[in-house]
């Protein structure tokens, strides 16, 4: 390339394992000033760029300066072909190591964020949960795609993590993605990654969730919330097992184990034309349905005491037991928010408790009981709409708190508000 002014454009539109950069571009110029200026610009755009400087007018001092300013190596003209090939081969290996380190750093950061979340293990001994454990053991040993169904707050992500931990991929990353929280415009960037400069806020190259999960497990939660257009893009990546970063035209092969989850009736949505049948076939080689907490009453004492111990340590409070009448109250409550709601109820009760034992009066449930709801209507849409309205009113229009009360993300609550015209 005789015109170095094309360098910024090329770097913004593609990736390069090795860059061979001449020190002098202008006629009769031997100082190497141009080369050093372009080296500086390249390293500013990509600190991990592997650059080999080339010149016919070099000396030891110039070579040392080039290395200090970020060049990987320095070659004099005329070169020996064998030495040039060896230098480029070494540089390519160095670039690969940079890429691996960067990918591992990002994967480690994401993994640490996810590991820090409490209650990673599935707790329970009920027959309903034992059936789930049996399915986990069977499917974990394979690479089959899994679709986990269940209400909000039942622990679908915990089941996905359990499958990963029992699989042959357990030593690699488990990457979770909340599909309900990803906007249409950021979908490809989040899942497939992007090149620096691909859009306004793309300040650096960034691998997507598919790349971070390469060799491991990719968990797509709330898969039922994807639009038909995004379903098509996802299906294409799953079929080809390749992704392309936004701003690049270079496909990247990925090897992932896919686990999806939703609380929505995907089979019914296929019949209504709201979910692609071919995508459903792709993601549900095996289906696992998580029972709601109301079907696992025997597990409530185990869960309640587990959460109590956790929050007692977290808040450094000497509260270690739950009174019998309080436990009976917990077992009779219908738990529309499932395990997540029970977790929050224990946390609130412990924070407000005045004694070393949680009492019945420490638990204040704002929702109607199951019998009260049933007396009004058995229509599921009406029940859901009433719960949404109740939560919004309870928190004086605060959507974040209402979403937390319902066990939903903000994005999911907004979709339900739009659905019911609220």
Question: What's the pLDDT score for residue 44?
Answer: 82
Bridge partners (DSSP) of residue 176 are: 219
pLDDT, mean of residues 208-228: 94
Phi/psi at 75 (5° precision): -125, 135
Question: What's the pLDDT score for residue 68?
Answer: 80
Q: How far apart are CA 146 and CA 282, in angstroms?
A: 9
pLDDT, mean of residues 146-157: 92
Stretch(es) of the chain classified as CATH 3.40.50.300: 117-291
**114/50: higher pLDDT:** 50
Question: What's the pLDDT score for residue 32?
Answer: 67
Question: What's the pLDDT score for residue 222?
Answer: 92
- Three-class DSSP labels, 266-327: HHHHHHCCCCCHHHHHHHCCEEEECCCHHHCHHHHHHHHHHHHHHHHHHHCCCCCEECHHHH
Q: How far apart are CA 138 and CA 136, in angstroms?
A: 5
Lowest mean pLDDT among 160-164, 295-299, 404-408: 404-408
Stretch(es) of the chain classified as CATH 1.10.8.60: 295-419
Q: Assign 29 a pLDDT band (cuts: 50, 70, 90).
A: low
Bridge partners (DSSP) of residue 5 are: none
Question: What's the pLDDT score for residue 260?
Answer: 97
Q: In terms of DSSP bridges, do strands 73-76 and 51-55 run parallel, antiparallel, or are they unpaired?
A: parallel
pLDDT, mean of residues 113-127: 66
What tokens appear for 309 in the block?
């111990």
Question: What's the pLDDT score for residue 110?
Answer: 63
Q: What is the DSSP letter of 360?
A: G
pLDDT, mean of residues 178-187: 87
Question: What's the pLDDT score for residue 256?
Answer: 95
What tokens appear for 409 in the block?
């993300």
Residue 200 has pLDDT above 50, yes or no: yes
Stretch(es) of the chain classified as CATH 3.40.50.2300: 4-95
pLDDT, mean of residues 290-319: 93
Question: What's the pLDDT score for residue 137?
Answer: 93
Question: What's the pLDDT score for residue 234?
Answer: 95
CATH class of 295-419: mainly alpha
Question: What's the pLDDT score for residue 31?
Answer: 65
pTM score, whole prediction: 0.62
Question: What's the pLDDT score for residue 26?
Answer: 67
What tokens appear for 387 in the block?
């719960």
Q: Assign 370 a pLDDT band (cuts: 50, 70, 90).
A: very low
Least Cα distance to 146 among 127, 169, 130, 125 occurs for: 169
Q: How far apart are CA 74 and CA 48, in angstroms?
A: 17
Q: How far apart are CA 57 and CA 59, in angstroms?
A: 7
CATH class of 4-95: alpha beta
Report the phi/psi class of residue 218: left, alpha or beta, with left for phi > 0 and alpha for psi in -120 to 50.
beta
The pLDDT tens digits of the residues spanning 70-82 come to 888 878 777 888 8
The dotted CATH code for 117-291 is 3.40.50.300
């Amino acid at each position: 390339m005789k015109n170095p002014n094309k360098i910024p454009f090329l770097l913004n539109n593609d990736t390069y394992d090795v860059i061979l950069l001449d020190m002098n571009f202008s006629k009769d110029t031997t100082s190497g000033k141009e080369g050093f200026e372009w080296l500086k610009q390249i390293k500013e755009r990509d600190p991990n760029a592997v650059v080999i400087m080339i010149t016919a007018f070099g000396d030891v001092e110039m070579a040392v300066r080039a290395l200090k300013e970020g060049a990987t190596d320095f070659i004099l003209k005329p070169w020996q072909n064998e030495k040039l090939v060896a230098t480029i081969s070494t540089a390519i290996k160095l670039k690969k190591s940079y890429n691996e380190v960067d990918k591992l750093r990002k994967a480690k950061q994401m993994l640490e964020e996810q590991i820090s979340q409490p209650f990673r293990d599935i707790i329970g001994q009920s027959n309903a949960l034992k059936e789930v454990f049996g399915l986990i053991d069977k499917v974990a040993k394979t690479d089959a795609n899994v679709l986990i169904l269940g209400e909000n707050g039942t622990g679908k992500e915990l089941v996905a993590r359990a499958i990963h931990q029992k699989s042959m991929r357990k030593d690699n990353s488990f990457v979770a993605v909340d599909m309900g929280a990803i906007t249409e415009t950021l979908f490809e960037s989040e899942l497939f990654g992007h090149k620096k400069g691909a859009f306004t806020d793309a300040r650096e190259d960034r691998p997507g969730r598919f790349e971070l999960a390469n060799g491991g497990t990719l968990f797509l939660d709330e898969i039922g919330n994807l639009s038909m257009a995004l379903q098509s893009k996802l299906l294409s990546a799953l079929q080809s097992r390749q992704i392309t970063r936004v701003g690049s035209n270079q496909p990247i092969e990925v090897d992932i184990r896919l686990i999806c989850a939703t609380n929505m009736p995907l089979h019914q949505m296929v019949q209504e034309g709201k979910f692609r049948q071919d995508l459903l076939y792709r993601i549900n080689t095996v289906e696992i349905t998580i029972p709601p907490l109301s079907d696992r009453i025997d597990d409530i004492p185990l869960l309640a005491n587990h959460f109590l111990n956790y929050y007692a340590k977290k808040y450094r409070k000497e509260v270690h037991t739950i009174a019998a009448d309080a436990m009976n109250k917990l077992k009779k409550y219908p738990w529309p928010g499932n395990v997540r709601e029970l977790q929050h109820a224990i946390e609130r009760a412990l924070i407000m408790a005045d004694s070393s034992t949680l009492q019945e009066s420490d638990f204040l449930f704002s929702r109607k009981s199951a019998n009260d709801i049933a007396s009004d209507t058995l229509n599921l849409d009406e029940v859901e709409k009433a719960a949404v309205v109740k939560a919004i009113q309870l928190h004086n229009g605060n959507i974040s708190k209402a979403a937390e009360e319902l066990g939903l993300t903000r994005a999911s609550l907004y979709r339900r508000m739009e659905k019911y015209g609220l």
